[in-house]
């Protein structure tokens, strides 16, 4: 969404697309080959694929006193595929084009938008083109915005060949309208339609997309520059997640600079694949762009964490200059995403701080339960260093608090013991969240304070995403209060801690605390119920090592199993 001064046209590259259009897709001009040769000479080991000719033009990067940006370029020791525009998945494109089932179905393509776009806007030259639409520069003719330059995204109705495609356009407009107002989100003005097209009027941004600046800097940003960009990206991603919106197509092409200034704000665009999601909901629609798609999306069960994975890929690209996963075909990329781990052995990683490397790793954990949320990422030591961050409320906490309140006294005791072993860095996030939920500084929070926090940060999008309905499900617990110590236990993410190197040491310390404060005699049937063991499993054989024979209390292994909430399958395997 939005517009910039150059154009990209995806005519030769593979695209996962669920929408009828992409935004800010730009085409480029052919330049003198000598100029192109000079520009790419420092990347002698690059393989010149189609992307070379696609991007061979003078750099559009901002300058300072006639000099190029000071960010150091990266010299590669080995040849690899250069950065190109990431395509949407072919299967999804085919579905959106209407191949197959819905070809002869009569579709209602009336959206109920105003039909007077020509009265309101003077539409000018085309500045961007995508698979299903194109973007034009325009000006308001009248009203409070008279004379203001805007971008008009034009989506031909002839390309809306499925009900899914029509719903995508309607949802995109709804989300843009509901979310508009955030500093790092493209501003939405209005939507119009006529017999042939839908017109989406948005803020005009002329700074170009993030991918262009990455390429103009030789494929890499300096660490501090990358951090500044990632703070902006995570801030808007966390905002969308709080409102119950998951973007599902985060990539450098979908972030645009407001202007050509070096320090221009970065704004997220193209909500064509976005959807509403409640705190405990899982989506199964495979959408996105191949290089940036999360493994759980390919496995058809995902939530907000998929956006964090995509942000991790962007972080990897900004710091390293290359994507962590590559394949010659779309299926090859998917296999790499599902089977391989991101590599950190490139020369560039040895020159970066340990914190930067740890940050990227924490966003690219394949298990979404162990991956940081966008708000947690904003609290990471690397991000906090040198920046004063005010993270928003993390909507995912609602799910964990509900689960804690409804859990058994035994599980509560294990979580409380584990929470007392948290480090300073792990407590930073929890302190920030507790302060957002404690408006009266009483030292306690309740379901009512959750409601107050959501009301404070709510937009129209939150109403669409059923976040408030989820909160209402806690209504019977409205008089339950928590102090900070119990809140830490309730908001604890055991799977994340389990992925740390100090997990064994941490659980042993927690077990010592549990032995003093919470361990008690437990019968086999109670433990079997706690671990959700199937009746078909020989319970006594499975839990033999989990209960001490001398006093009937939990062993260390039993303590860990209760913490993990192990399934009967895992317990039976002794995992």
Annotated catalytic sites, by residue? 249
Q: Are 205 and 4 in contact (CB under 8 A)?
A: yes
Query: Cα separation of 63 and 69, whole Å?
Result: 6
Provide the greatest CA pair distance for the chain.
Answer: 85
How far is CA 33 from each of CA 27, 37, 96, 347, rounded to the nearest angstrom? Answer: 18, 6, 38, 30
Q: Which regions of 69-182 does DSSP assign to beta strands (E)? A: 121-129, 134-140, 149-156
Query: Cα separation of 192 and 152, whole Å?
Result: 10
Query: Cα separation of 156 and 195, whole Å?
Result: 9
DSSP letters for 277-308: --TT--B----SBGGG--HHHHTT-B-THHHH
Q: For 558, how many CA atoms within 13 A lie in the half-sphere containing its CB?
A: 25
- Which residues are documented as binding site? 153
- Which residues are documented as binding site for ATP? 153
Helix extents (H) in 380-423: 381-384, 397-405, 409-419
3-state SS class at 24: coil
DSSP letters for 326-346: --SSHHHHHHHHHHPPPP--S
Query: Cα separation of 514 and 372, whole Å?
Result: 27
Q: What's the chain's Rg over C-alpha atoms?
A: 26
Q: Are 362 and 372 in contact (CB under 8 A)?
A: yes
How far is CA 502 from each of CA 120, 325, 496, rounded to the nearest angstrom? Answer: 61, 28, 11
In our burial notation (b when 16+ CB lie closer than 10 A, e otherwise), range 86-115 reads: bbbbbebbebbbbeeeeeeeeeeeebebee
């Amino acid at each position: 969404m939005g517009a910039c001064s150059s154009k990209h046209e995806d005519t030769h590259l593979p695209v996962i697309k669920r929408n009828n259009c992409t935004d800010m897709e730009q085409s480029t001009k052919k330049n003198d080959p000598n100029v192109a040769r000079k520009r790419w000479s420092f990347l002698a080991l690059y393989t010149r694929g189609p992307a070379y000719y696609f991007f061979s033009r003078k750099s559009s990067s901002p300058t300072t006193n006639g000099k190029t940006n000071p960010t150091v370029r990266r010299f590669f020791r080995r040849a690899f595929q250069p950065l190109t525009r990431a395509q949407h998945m072919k299967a999804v494109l085919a579905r959106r084009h209407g191949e197959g089932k819905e070809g002869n179905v009569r579709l209602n393509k009336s959206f109920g938008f105003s039909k007077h776009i020509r009265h309101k806007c003077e539409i000018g030259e085309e500045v961007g083109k995508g698979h299903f639409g194109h973007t034009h520069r325009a000006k308001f003719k009248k009203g409070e915005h008279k004379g203001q330059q805007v971008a008009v995204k034009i989506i031909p109705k002839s390309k809306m060949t499925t009900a899914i495609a029509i719903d995508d356009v309607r949802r995109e407009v709804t989300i843009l309208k509901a979310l508009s107002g955030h500093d790092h989100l493209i501003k939405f003005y209005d939507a119009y339609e006529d017999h042939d097209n839908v017109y989406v009027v948005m803020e005009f941004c002329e700074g170009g997309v993030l991918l262009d600046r990455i390429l103009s800097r030789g494929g890499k940003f300096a660490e501090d520059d990358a951090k500044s960009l990632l703070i902006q990206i995570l801030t808007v991603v966390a905002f969308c997640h709080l409102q119950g919106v998951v973007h599902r197509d985060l990539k450098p092409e979908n972030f645009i600079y407001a202007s050509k200034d070096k320090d221009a704000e970065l704004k997220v665009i193209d909500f064509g694949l976005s959807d509403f999601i409640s705190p405990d909901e899982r989506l199964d629609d495979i959408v996105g762009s191949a290089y940036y798609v999360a493994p759980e999306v390919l496995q058809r069960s995902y939530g907000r964490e998929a956006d964090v994975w995509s942000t991790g890929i962007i972080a990897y690209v900004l710091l390293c200059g290359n994507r962590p996963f590559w394949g010659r075909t779309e299926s090859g990329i998917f296999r790499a995403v599902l089977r391989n781990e991101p590599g950190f052995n490139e020369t560039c990683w040895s020159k970066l701080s340990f914190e930067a490397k740890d940050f990227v790793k924490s966003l690219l954990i394949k298990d979404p339960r162990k991956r940081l949320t966008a708000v947690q990422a904003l609290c990471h030591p690397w991000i906090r260093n040198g920046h004063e961050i005010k993270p928003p409320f993390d909507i995912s906490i609602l799910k964990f608090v509900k689960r804690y309140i409804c859990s058994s006294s035994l599980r509560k005791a294990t979580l409380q013991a584990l929470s007392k072993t948290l480090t300073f860095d792990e407590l930073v996030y929890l302190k920030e969240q507790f302060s957002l939920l404690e408006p009266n500084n009483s030292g306690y929070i309740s379901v009512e304070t959750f409601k107050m926090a959501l009301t404070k940060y709510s937009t129209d999008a939150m109403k669409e995403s059923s976040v408030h309905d989820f909160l209402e499900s806690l209504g019977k617990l409205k008089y339950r209060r928590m102090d900070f110590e119990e809140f830490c236990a309730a908001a604890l993410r055991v799977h994340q801690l389990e992925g740390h190197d100090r997990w064994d040491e941490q659980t042993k310390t927690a077990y010592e605390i549990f032995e003093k404060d919470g361990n008690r005699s437990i019968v086999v049937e109670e433990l079997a119920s706690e671990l959700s063991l199937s009746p078909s499993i020989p319970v006594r054989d499975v839990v033999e090592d989990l209960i001490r024979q001398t006093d009937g209390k939990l062993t260390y292994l039993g303590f860990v199993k209760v913490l993990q909430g192990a399934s009967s399958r895992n317990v039976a395997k002794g995992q």
